[in-house]
Amino acid sequence: MSLLELNNISKIYGDLKALDNVSLSVDTGEWVAIMGPSGSGKSTMMNIIGCMDKPTSGAVLLDGKDISKESAKSLTAIRRDKIGLIFQQFHLVNYLTAVENVMVAQYYHSMPDEKEALEALERVGLADRAKHLPSQLSGGEQQRVCIARALINYPEIVLADEPTGNLDEANENIVLDIFKQLHKDGTTLVVVTHDPEVGEVAQRTITLEHGRIVKDALNANFKEA
Amino acid sequence: MTKRKMFLRMITASLVRRRSRMLVALLAIAVGATILSGLVTIYYDVPRQMGAQFRNYGANMIFLAASNEARFDLDTVRRGVACIDAEELVGVAPYRYETVRIHEQPILAAGTDLDGAKATSPYWHIDGEWPSARYEVLVGQETAEFLGLKTGDVFNATWSSGEEEEDVLNLGVDMKVAGILETGGSEEEYLYMSLSDMEELAGETEKLDVVELSVSASADELKAYEQDIEANVPDIAPRLVKRVTESESTVLTKLQSLVFLVTAVVLVLTMICVATTMTAVVTERRKEIGLRKSLGASDGSIIWEFMGEGLLLGGVGGILGSILGFAFAQFVSVHVFSSSITYQPALLPVTILVSVLVTGLACLLPVRSATEVDPALVLKGE
C-alpha cells in the first residue's frame, strides 16, 4: 500500500524548474534512496515530502491525504505527527543534553517522557551519553541523537537528508546499520544522498537529474538485516 | 514530565548554559531595574529627606494671638500643638518680648524655651554656649557689638514695666553672657533668655507674643494643620512661613520631576538595550528556530519559548535590581542627605513586575521575527 505518492509535481523558482512533473510512490515499510548530483532537485523533493515546502503544481498524498494545498499551520502539524527528520548537519539544540534534544520532539508532539527518550538513545547505543551536550559528542554520536529524536514519536515516514554526509566510515556504517534495523522493524525510510554506498544499501534507488526522475530501480544487492 | 516542566527546563537551560550570551541582556535589565528601584526609593524618600534638610532653615509655621482679647498662653499653645502629629513636630519655641535697659540703653529681650529655640532654629550659630544657668543669656552679635559685650561678660540690666521710676521691677540685675548669637538676620538685635528668667524679672504674665514651630511635613499637610488648628483652637491664628514652605514645595516638585524623567529615560534605554540583545539572540538562533519548526513547533510555541526566556531574564534582573537599587538609594541618601533611607518592601514586587513588563515589551518585535524563519532555508544553511 502506498504511504506516499507524488503525482506530477513541479516546483518552479522564477525561470528554474527545480522539479519537473515528477511522480513516484513509496510503500509503507519501504526503504528508498533518492540520489542525484547537486542541483538535481533532491533537496526540493525532500522539502516537499517533509512538508517544509509546497509544490507549484501537482499533488502530494501522504497516507492518502493530499497535503499539497494545506496551510503552513496544517503542514506543521503533519510534520509533527507523521514525519521524522534526520539532517546532514544533525541540528541539535546546542544548550540541551542528548536526552533533552530527544525530549524536544516529544514536547512538540505530545508529552515529554525522559524514560522513553533514554530508551530511544539506548536503541542507538548512546545510553551512556544521554547527559552530554552536543559539543561533548562526536559527529557520529550527534547523528545518532538526531536519529533517536526523529524516531521518538513513531513517525509514519522517516526522511533523512544526506545522513552520512558529515560522518567518517565507521560512523557511516553505524548509521546504516541503524537504518537496516529500522527497515526490518517496518519503518518507511526515504534517504536523500549522493553517496553511492548509502544508495546501494537501500531497497530501491530513485535517481534525479535536472528535476526529473531518470531512474527508479530496486537494488539487486539489497539484503534484509 | 509535564509540558510545563519541559518548558521551564528548556528556557532555564538556555539561560544557564548560554549565560555568557545572555549576560549582556541580564546586565541591561539589572542596571535598569537598579536605577528604577533606586530612584523610586529616593523619589518616595526625598520629601522626608528634603523636609529634614529644610528644617535647618528655621520655623515653617507660627502661632499668633487670634485677637487682642484672645487667650494666648502656654496652655493654649499646647492645645494647638496637640493638633500636629508628634512624630512630625521638630520643635516649638514660644516667644515673649520685653524691653530691658542695659547701660541705660533700651534693648529688646526675648524669653523662650531655649531647647525649643535650638530645635526650631538649628541655623543659629553660637559663639560660646547656650544658656544653662539662671540669668544666663544669649546676646545677638549686633547688640553685643553695640554694648561692647563678649562671651563670659557680666552686665547689669534693669527691668521695668513702664517709663516711670515707679515702674522699675528689678534694678541692676547681674546677667551673664553665655554666648554671642550669629545668624546674619534680625535675631542679632535681640537678647535671648529662658522664659522662666523673663517671667521672674519682667513680671509674671500668661501672655506670649509669638510661637515658632518647625514641622516636618509637606506644604499640603501644613495647610491641613493650619486649618485644623484654626478650627479647633480659636484663640490661635496659625500662619505658614510661606518663604520656607513654598521653597520646599518648589524644590521637591522639581526634584521629583527630575527623578521621574531620569527613571523614564532609563527604562526606555533598558528597553532598547534588551530589544537589541534579543534581536541578536534571535538572529543567532535562526537555525534552532528552524529546527524547532521542522520538529512541529507552532508559531505560538516559538513565541512563548523566547518570551519565556525574556520574561525569566526580566524577573531575575528585577530581583537583582531591587537589591542593588536599595544599595544605590542608600549610597545616594547617605552621601547627599547624610541619613539612611527607609526600605520600601512594596518596591520589590513593583520592580520585578516593571522589569518583566519592560523586557516583555522589548522582546515583542524580535520574537515576532523569530516566527518568520523558514525551516527549509535555515536548515540548509541559507
Same-domain pairing of B328 and B351 = yes
CA distance B344 to chain A (A): 39
* Rounded Cα gap, residues A126 and B187, in angstroms: 92
Show residues of chain B in contact with A93, CB under 8 Å.
288, 291-292
Q: Which whole-number Å values give the CA distances from B208 to A146, B69, B108, in the listed order?
A: 95, 13, 15
Selected residue of A19, A48, A80, A95 to mutate for chain B interface (largest B Cβ count, 10 A): A95
Q: Is A54 on the interface with B (CB under 8 A)?
A: no
Is residue A163 within 8 Å of A193, Cβ to Cβ? yes
* Rounded Cα gap, residues B289 and B340, in angstroms: 50
CA atoms B289, B293, B299, B300: torsion sign? negative
Query: What is the predicted pLDDT for the residue at B162?
Result: 67
**Tens digit of each residue's pLDDT (9 = 90 or more) over A25-68:** 999 999 999 999 888 999 899 999 999 889 999 999 998 889 88
Show residues of chain B in contact with A91, CB under 8 Å.
287, 290-291, 294, 379
CA atoms B240, B246, B249, B252: torsion sign? negative
pLDDT-derived band at A175 (thresholds 50, 70, 90) equals confident
Nearest CA in chain A to B19: A95
Rounded to two decimals, the ipTM of the complex is 0.90
**Tens digit of each residue's pLDDT (9 = 90 or more) over B332-374:** 888 887 778 877 888 889 889 988 998 888 888 888 888 888 8
Name the residue facing B17 among A95, A108, A113 (closest C-beta): A95
With CB atoms and an 8 Å threshold, state whether B293 touches A77: no
Residue B349: is it exposed, middle or buried by C-beta count within 10 angstroms (0-12/13-18/19+)?
A: exposed
With CB atoms and an 8 Å threshold, state whether A91 touches B7: no
Query: What is the predicted pLDDT for the residue at A185?
Result: 87
Query: What is the predicted pLDDT for the residue at A99?
Result: 96
Strands A31-35 and A204-209: parallel
Tally A–B CB contacts below 8 A.
76
pLDDT of residue B165 exceeding 70, the answer is no
Tell me which of B379 and B10 has the higher pLDDT: B10
Domain boundaries, given as residue ranges, for chain A: 28-54+70-218
Query: What is the predicted pLDDT for the residue at B343?
Result: 79
**Tens digit of each residue's pLDDT (9 = 90 or more) over A59-111:** 999 988 898 888 988 999 999 999 999 988 889 999 999 999 999 999 999 99
CA distance A68 to chain B (A): 16
Question: Under DSSP, is residue B81 helix (H, G, I), strand (E, B) or coil?
Answer: helix
Same-domain pairing of B358 and B374 = yes
With CB atoms and an 8 Å threshold, state whether A79 touches B295: yes
Same-domain pairing of B326 and B347 = yes
Tell me which of B163 and B31 has the higher pLDDT: B31
With CB atoms and an 8 Å threshold, state whether A100 touches B7: no
End-of-domain residue from the set B240, B273, B297: B240
pLDDT of residue B51 exceeding 90, the answer is no
Query: What is the predicted pLDDT for the residue at A170?
Result: 85
End-of-domain residue from the set B240, B274, B306: B240
Show residues of chain B in contact with A48, CB under 8 Å.
none
Query: What is the predicted pLDDT for the residue at B167?
Result: 67
C-alpha cell at B153: 561678660
| Per-residue buried b or exposed e for B266-301, using 16+ beta carbons within 10 Å of the residue's own CB | bbeebbebbbebbbebbeebbbbbbbbbbbbbbbeb
Nearest CA in chain A to B17: A95
* Rounded Cα gap, residues A117 and B208, in angstroms: 91
Q: Is B99 on the interface with A (CB under 8 A)?
A: no
Q: Is B380 on the interface with A (CB under 8 A)?
A: yes
Query: What is the predicted pLDDT for the residue at B218?
Result: 80
CA B134 to chain centre: 39
**Tens digit of each residue's pLDDT (9 = 90 or more) over B277-323:** 888 888 888 888 989 999 999 999 999 998 998 899 899 999 999 99
| Averaged pLDDT of chain A | 90
Name the residue facing B296 among A80, A95, A100 (closest C-beta): A80
Domain residues for the domain of B340 are 3-53+249-380
**Tens digit of each residue's pLDDT (9 = 90 or more) over B52-76:** 777 777 888 999 988 887 778 888 9
Q: Which residues pair with B67 in a beta bridge?
A: none
Same-domain pairing of B203 and B124 = yes
Is residue A149 within 8 Å of A104, Cβ to Cβ? yes
C-alpha cell at B288: 534552532
* Rounded Cα gap, residues B225 and B84, in angstroms: 6
C-alpha cell at B200: 521672674
Percent of chain A surpassing pLDDT 90 = 60
CA distance A1 to chain B (A): 26
Most confident of A172-181, B183-192, B280-289: B183-192
Same-domain pairing of B114 and B226 = yes
Same-domain pairing of B88 and B114 = yes
Is residue B333 within 8 Å of B339, Cβ to Cβ? yes
User: What is the crossing angle of helices A139-151 and A98-109, to 10°?
Assistant: 20
Same-domain pairing of B207 and B331 = no
Strands A31-35 and A188-193: parallel
pLDDT of residue B171 exceeding 80, the answer is no
Name the residue facing B18 among A95, A108, A149 (closest C-beta): A95
Percent of chain B surpassing pLDDT 90 = 38
The stretch A157-174 carries a mean pLDDT of: 87
| Averaged pLDDT of chain B | 87
* C-alpha dihedral (B253, B258, B263, B269), degrees to nearest 10: 150
Cβ under 8 Å to A: B residues 18-37: 18
Please give the tally of structural domains in chain B. 2
Show residues of chain B in contact with A133, CB under 8 Å.
17
In the block, residue with C-alpha cell 533532491: A42
pLDDT-derived band at B276 (thresholds 50, 70, 90) equals confident
C-alpha cell at B136: 544666663
**A8-12 contact pairs (CB < 8 A, 24+):** A8/A57, A8/A58, A8/A59, A9/A48, A9/A55, A9/A57, A9/A58, A9/A59, A9/A60, A9/A68, A10/A55, A10/A56, A10/A57, A10/A58, A10/A211, A11/A41, A11/A44, A11/A48, A11/A53, A11/A55, A11/A56, A11/A211, A12/A56
CA distance B308 to chain A (A): 16
Percent of chain B surpassing pLDDT 70 = 97
pLDDT-derived band at B175 (thresholds 50, 70, 90) equals very high
The stretch B177-182 carries a mean pLDDT of: 95
Strands A16-27 and A2-13: antiparallel
Same-domain pairing of B235 and B290 = no
Is residue B243 within 8 Å of B331, Cβ to Cβ? no
pTM to 2 decimal places: 0.70
In the block, residue with C-alpha cell 493530499: A66
- DSSP class of residue A216? E
With CB atoms and an 8 Å threshold, state whether B6 touches A103: yes
With CB atoms and an 8 Å threshold, state whether A105 touches B291: no
CATH code given to domain A28-54+70-218? 3.40.50.300
End-of-domain residue from the set B240, B266, B282: B240
With CB atoms and an 8 Å threshold, state whether B376 touches A100: no
